[in-house]
Structure 1
């Protein structure tokens, strides 16, 4: 999986949109919250929420040493950087993005959640 495919998967989520809060650093947001950090072009990892806390997120580090690392600054809140250069299977990367989106969406105030038809 490459960066463009993973970003496209993120942006296909209801209410998802691309932002560049820091010059050159791309993120995917829902409402006003980030659910995936892509960083500068050429990067080979995506930052996603991998659990409610560091202990849960550490499961990724144990499963994929070297391909999964705790995110700088926000790692203590369950965020990891996951490599998309082939060490982690594509289906697991997509599931991690989906889980991150769901976790962030659940914490958004209802007024900021995307409206989905019944």
Structure 2
């Protein structure tokens, strides 16, 4: 997966915006101001992203794919780092973006979920 494809897919989700709140090389995607994905724009490192994940599934994915590791600079329990140059297929990256977005969306109150769904 390339960076622009990842970015476009994240931005295609409802009520998502992007920002650079930490530095100029970490693009953050948020739904209703809550992070669900981070994309590394560093030129000197392997292309990667961080995605929120159910803790049990996160452990499963890490054991199945060498390109999925505990979240870099994030809660290791709830976040994974996915390397774009490893054994992680694009189809799985799309699925995990959806999973991350859904986890964050479902964390909002029913009232906010309803407001965002309109």
Q: What is aligned with 1:84?
A: 84
TM-score (norm 1): 0.84
Equivalent pairs, count: 113
- 1:1-118 superposed matches below 5 A: 1-24=1-24, 25-42=26-43, 44-51=47-54, 53=55, 55-65=56-66, 67-71=67-71, 72-76=73-77, 78-109=78-109, 110-111=111-112, 115-117=116-118
Relative to structure 1, is the Cα distance of residues 114 and 6 closer, same or farther in structure 2, using a 3 angstrom cutoff?
farther
How far apart, CA to CA, are the structure 2 residues paired with 1:105 and 1:114? 11
Q: Is the 8 A contact 2:31 2:105 kept in 1?
A: yes
Shift of the 114–35 alpha-carbon distance from structure 1 to 2, 3 Å rule, reads: farther
**2:41–2:47 CA contact under 8 A, matched in 1:** no
Task: Report the Cα distance in structure 2 between the residues aligned to 1:80 and 1:114, rounded to whole angstroms.
Answer: 29
RMSD: 1.9
> Residue 26 of structure 1 aligns to a residue in which SS?
strand
Q: Which protein, 1 or 2, shows the higher relative CO under an 8 Å CA cutoff with sep ≥ 6?
A: 1
Contact 2:40 2:47 in 1 (8 A): no
Deviating beyond 6 angstroms after TM superposition, the runs of 4 or more aligned structure 1 residues are none
**Structure 1 portions without partners, runs of 5+:** none
User: CA, structure 1 residues 32+85, in 2 after alignment: closer, same or farther (shift >3 Å)?
Assistant: same
